[in-house]
Every structure is written in structure tokens, then in C-alpha cells.
Amino acid sequence: MDYPVAEQQMTQVQQQSQAAMEKMQALAQKLRAAAPDEGTGREWAMDLREIAMTLQQQNQTAMMLLQQMGQYIHTLENELQTHPAPSVQPRGWGGGSGFLGNLTAGLGMGAGFAVAGDVVNDIFSAF
């Protein structure tokens, strides 16, 4: 896998997540309309909102992992192009300073997580 492939996978995860949220919103509207009363419709919509939040958290975790892998691949590719004997050695994903370095480099994703949270809230704000 190279860096462009990792970026492509991140984009695909984002698109799939957005499609799932749109389908959940449509289902929430159908459930609310089909509910025998307003209270039941509201309860069903809130249950679906909880599921959407769980899926959103899962997608955020996957995105962070893909971003960290992409950064690591990018670092390795740069090292291989500039040094005949790269100083960066392959390592596991189990943690350590490399993981924290990638995590620190990816702190910009925090803003993305907040935006994603707002998206779910906006989708279900009518309920």
C-alpha cells in the first residue's frame, strides 16, 4: 500500500459514512411518520440517533487509524527516496513514540470529529 491508496481509502470511508447517515435520516423520518403516536415516533427517532452516534464513533476510529497508517507510509516513502539506508525502521502499530507522534500530528482531526458530531446532531435535530 502506498500513500495515495491510503488517502483513497480515507475518502471512501468518509463517503460511506455520509451515505449511511443520510439513509438513517430517511429511516428516522419514515419511522416518525409511521409511529402510532408522537411519543413513540420521538422514541424511535432517538433510538436511531443513538445508533448513528455509535456508527459515527466507529467511523472516526477507522479514519484515525487510516490517517496514522497513511502518515507512516508517507514517512517511509520519503525516507526511501532521500536515503539509501532509511533511518525509519518498520515497526508495529502497538504504540510507542511513533504512535504518539502520529497522534499528535493528527490532532487536526479533532476539529473534524466535532464537525462530524454536529452533522449527526443536525440530521436528527428535527426529532
Each residue's pLDDT tens digit, 108-119 = 455 455 555 666
The grid coordinates of residue 14 equal: 468518509
Alpha-carbon distance values, 89 to 48, 50, 76, 77, 85 (Å) = 45, 42, 8, 12, 10
pLDDT band at 104 (very low <50, low <70, confident <90, very high): very low
* Alpha helix (H) residue ranges in 3-125: 3-34, 38-82, 97-105, 109-123
pLDDT band at 107 (very low <50, low <70, confident <90, very high): very low
